[in-house]
Amino acid sequence: MFKNWIFIILFVGVKLSYAQQNFNKLSDAAFELTKQQVTYDPSYFSIKYPNGDVPAGKGVCTDVVIRAYRKLGIDLQKEVHEDMKTNFSLYPKIWGLKRTDTNIDHRRVPNLMTFFSRKGTIKKISSNPKDYKPGDIVCWNLGGGTTHIGIVSSKKSPSNVHRYLIVHNIGGGQVLEDCLFDFKIIGHYTYKN
């Protein structure tokens, strides 16, 4: 019996370590994006499917998440589209669409929130910075019906709070900032397909 418990503890420890490495890879991929010059551009673009992307040098907050996952071989355009196609009624109806649109669906924060809620892990929302780990996805309400999304990085703030910095694009390009609690948090997730 004792050997079984040892095996279970080792197995769970290895599995948790592997999962955290994957989330650290997402954090690293997001950080690499901050080295690219990107202008905030919320325009609608016609893009190929699957693995489509808006023009290089352009993007919004969701494109940071999409591009970071793409560096890990995960195509959120395809993943979101396939889930929306099968479960369209579960996704927000904010835009009055009657069917899916592979050009834009994955680039909308409420759709990503629905997708991560369905296919990822919902994590608690708190005011404790220790609850937000590298590779976590965080969503905010900026007010006036505007939502925002970013990735928790593995870099910590130089201030005395030492919380993890966020990779996001809120208008100034793909940047690394200490902004976790600057707006009301409305979503906190992890996702690994």
Phi and psi, residue 69, nearest 5°: -65, -35
Q: Which residues pair with 175 in a beta bridge?
A: 168
- Tell whether the model's pLDDT for residue 159 goes beyond 50: yes
Q: Which residues pair with 149 in a beta bridge?
A: 139
Domains of the chain, start order = 2-74+121-190 (3.90.1720.10)
Task: Say what the pLDDT of residue 19 is.
Answer: 42
Task: Say what the pLDDT of residue 5 is.
Answer: 46
Angle at 176 between CA 174 and CA 177, to 5 degrees: 120
pTM of whole model > 0.75? yes
Q: How confident is the model at residue 70 (pLDDT cuts 50, 70, 90)?
A: very high
% residues pLDDT > 70 (the chain): 89
Task: Say what the pLDDT of residue 10 is.
Answer: 39
Query: How confident is the model over 1-51, as pLDDT tens digits?
Result: 555 545 444 344 434 333 445 679 999 999 999 999 999 999 999 999 999
